Chain A
Amino acid sequence: MFLKSRPIRFLFVYYAALLVWLSTTAMHIPDGYLSPLTCLIMFLIVLPFWVIGIRKIRETMNARSVPLIALLSAFSFVIMMFNFPIPGGTTAHAIGATIAAIILGPEAATIVVSIALIIQAFFFGDGGITALGANSFNMAVTVSYISYAIYQAFSKGQPLTSPRRLIGAALGGWTGVTAAAFFAGVEFGIQPLLFKSANGTPLYAPYPLPVSIPAMVIPHAILASVAEGLLAALVVAYLQRSNIAVLQAAEKPALLNEAGVLRKLRVPLIILAALIVATPLGLLAPGTAWGEWGTEQLASQGLSFIPAGLEKLSGLWGAPLAGYNLHALGNASLGYLLSAVLGIVVVTIVVWLFTMLITAGSKTRERKNS
């Protein structure tokens, strides 16, 4: 087939990237692009971040938090409507998550941006309702945490008026939105791998990872990410010049205790980093996920000698969920579904354990401080 030739393939990747560039720089995923299972998993992934955010807000702001969160969510919504000019004569939309994270911290910023996204989905038809979990993860969680970590790394110990803070805000915003685009690309790209009809027709977003990731990342890296970074840096610069009190309030120990912000955010950041690294490794590989070869596949991959231990062990591990199908049930699709549900349960338990660890850690530290 013509697709076998490399130049044409490259042309299509380029074309797809160009189209996405022209048509989307705000990455609101509509309904219909992601399979229901993906949507469910994204809700489960984003849930602990929502729990952390609400806990954080309760701890630090209590009754005041309701109007504060409402007003800042409204602010985030309005910011998303601004056409921000970027070098080169075009405009793009910023998300505003970086500014929210700098002012409120990433935990509360996640809630603020998520609420803006919920209102867009439910009252303005912007972004899908079933895709809310995915959209919140990409735009609220990813951008808030990554941009905040970078901003803090640059401004740690620096005076409020330091220009290093501007660099931190710009780099943070740029990296955060680019990472968010990467995640959106992964979410699109796994659809044709996992969800197709009997004859192989993709049922949801049609492009595989090698197309979807560059198509999302490249245009965002040169448009929306730039808008987000520039806007964040310019807002910080404006606050430095004419309203330093807002920046000062953000440095209050109530919001950020001196135990070290980066250390406190270590676990969520490690989870994010692990997700970034793990997804393409597991999914770019054709056929079986990387590192999950069965013994026959190891042989076919040029490994002529199968370690005796592995041969012995393969029977042991293959038994309960071989190939994600519970053969005992005699129904492949039901088995697949059950395996998926089991997988989700395991992932949720792990994430919950992480959440417990984080909250337990912060509580002991508080006790030490007081």
Chain B
Amino acid sequence: MENTSSVKRSSNRSDILEHTLHGITETLEQALFAEEISARKGLFQSLDARVKVISVLALLIGVALSHSLLVLLAIYFLALLFAWTSAIPAGLLIKRVWLALPFFTGLIALPALFITPGPAFLHLPLLGLVITQTGLTTAAFLLLRVSTSASLTLLLILTTPWNTVLSALGVLRVPDVFILILGMTYRYIYLLLHTANDMFLSRKSRMVGRMDTSENQKMLAAISATLLDKSLNLSSEVYLAMQSRGYRGAVVTLKPFRMQPQDWLWLFIFLGITTLAIILGR
């Protein structure tokens, strides 16, 4: 969500370069940081990736189905508890979830306080507006559901190396070719991000004055088109490389997972929590 909190006013037009550069660097940094956390010792790190993927998906569905604010709140605190036992810095999950997501969701939920029809809860004296009870509940549902889902997803992302998440998706009957493509895409995102970063930097280092909007647009289009051309060329090079290593269109993946007793235990615990959440939240 951070890198798409999109509209940024730029008093100085050359900021556009910097915004994009900043966004790219931040994405690279975040990925590095996630990798670092996933290497730490903690509860979630010790679990089989398949257990984590299935549990987080189940909990997400539980959160989506729940019609009770209390249940949502309970799952949210559970997510925080898991983060704490998984060596994720206390502030990080809260900060990333509550600064980015609900800022955006909060703005969207705000008018719902007033315009949802229902019995009055609070009269705002100066504005002449009425907060309705239903409006308050609606806004709470939206905020809690969004932040709980985001926390659960972050828990998975931060504690699991991306390649094991991919292999774990194979358990969910995602076809191997698709997993291969996802893995390659992920790998080449970093290459292309670095390439784009280099192009932006080299452009910036040769700039003296400011560029106006149309020059900026042309530069971005040129960078995009060059990147497109590079990706197309690279794809045929990668294909040749794959072919020379014996690729004939069939995908073979290594599945290094072995379920430990504690994996089974936690799988049942998570599925139990989900079932409980769905039953209690009806």
Show the binding face of A for B, using Cβ within 8 Å: 1-3, 12, 15-16, 19-26, 28, 30-33, 35-36, 39, 62-64, 66-75, 77-87, 89-93, 96, 99, 103, 115-116, 118-119, 121-126, 128-130, 197, 199-207, 211, 223-224, 230-231, 234-235, 237-239, 242-243, 246, 249
Given contacts A36-B64, A67-B238, A115-B181, contact A78 B196 (CB under 8 A): yes
Given contacts A33-B142, A67-B235, A91-B19, contact A78 B64 (CB under 8 A): no
CB A177 to nearest CB in B, in angstroms, measures: 13
State whether A83 touches B23 (Cβ < 8 A).
yes
Residue of B nearest to A96 (CB): B224
Give the docked Cα–Cα distance between A126 and B9 (Å).
Answer: 22
CB B19 to nearest CB in A, in angstroms, measures: 4
Give the docked Cα–Cα distance between A99 and B225 (Å).
Answer: 9
Interface size for B (C-beta < 8 A) is 101
Is B6's beta carbon under 8 Å from chain A? yes
State whether A238 touches B6 (Cβ < 8 A).
no
State whether B165 touches A123 (Cβ < 8 A).
yes
Given contacts A25-B7, A35-B64, A204-B145, contact A234 B112 (CB under 8 A): no
Give the docked Cα–Cα distance between A79 and B64 (Å).
Answer: 31
Give the docked Cα–Cα distance between A207 and B138 (Å).
Answer: 10
With a 10 A CB-CB cut-off, give which of A26, A75, A81, A87 has the most chain B CB atoms: A75
- Interface with A: B40-48, B115-123, B258-266, which one? B115-123
Could you pull out 24 A-B pairs where Cβ atoms are within 8 angstroms? A12-B115, A23-B104, A26-B6, A31-B60, A31-B153, A64-B235, A70-B238, A71-B185, A71-B192, A71-B231, A73-B185, A74-B188, A75-B192, A82-B220, A83-B20, A122-B165, A123-B165, A128-B153, A202-B116, A206-B116, A231-B220, A234-B218, A235-B224, A238-B225
State whether A202 touches B138 (Cβ < 8 A).
yes
Q: A31-B146, A62-B249 are known contacts; what are 9 more A-B pairs with Cβ within 8 Å?
A: A25-B7, A32-B147, A33-B142, A70-B184, A77-B192, A84-B217, A202-B112, A206-B142, A249-B232
Chain B residues with CB under 8 Å of A32's CB are 63-64, 105, 142, 145-149
Chain A residues with CB under 8 Å of B135's CB are 206
Show the binding face of B for A, using Cβ within 8 Å: 1-10, 13, 16, 19-20, 23-24, 27, 30-31, 57, 60-61, 63-65, 67, 96, 101, 103-105, 107-112, 114-118, 128-130, 134-135, 137-139, 141-142, 145-150, 153-154, 157, 162, 165, 177, 180-182, 184-186, 188-189, 191-193, 196, 213, 216-218, 220-225, 227-229, 231-232, 234-236, 238-239, 242-243, 247-249
